[in-house]
Amino acid sequence: MTQPTDPGLKPILRGLRGRCPACGKGRLFSGYLRQEPACSHCGEPTGLIRAEDGPPWLTVLILGPVLAPLSFMVSMKSPAPLWISLIALGAFAIGAVLFLLPRIKGGFIGLLWRMQQKEQT
């Protein structure tokens, strides 16, 4: 993977990978969405950065336009019974949310960390 030319994107991309936005080495999360209090590699206090409602909002914003037409198409054109199709679509939606949410939260934390760094300079 090539590194971006804009150094401002590095913290966001590191966050998307679940890594410390400062150094890219330490883990950002100690659990599924629980933040580490500080980076184990560089000591940056990333646990104080509050992403709040941004990650769930962006997850819904990304998945909504995909899942709404998909559910309509599945209900109209699926050869399987409707109840089976909708259960499968629901499982896909839950899986997509569970996959995207920690990555989006990491990206938000990287963005907020970058904004704090810009304010301090």
The pLDDT tens digits for 77-87 are 888 898 898 89
CB 84 within 8 A of CB 3: no
Q: How many domains does the chain have?
A: 1
Res. 3: pLDDT tops 80 = no
In a domain? residue 2:
no
**pLDDT tens digits along 108-117:** 999 999 999 8
Mean per-residue pLDDT of the chain: 90
Would residue 1 count as lying in a domain?
no
Would 16 be classed as within a structural domain?
A: yes
pTM of the model: 0.86
Residue 113's pLDDT is: 93
Q: Are 39 and 26 in contact (CB under 8 A)?
A: yes
> And the tokens for 50?
């509050």
93 assigned to some structural domain: yes
The secondary structure of residue 21, as a DSSP letter, is: T
**6-40, pLDDT tens digit by residue?**
678 999 999 999 999 999 999 999 999 999 999 99
Domain interval for residue 96: 7-120
- Given a cut of 60, whether residue 52 has pLDDT beyond it is yes
Q: Is 12 exposed, middle or buried (0-12, 13-18, 19+ CB in 10 A)?
A: buried
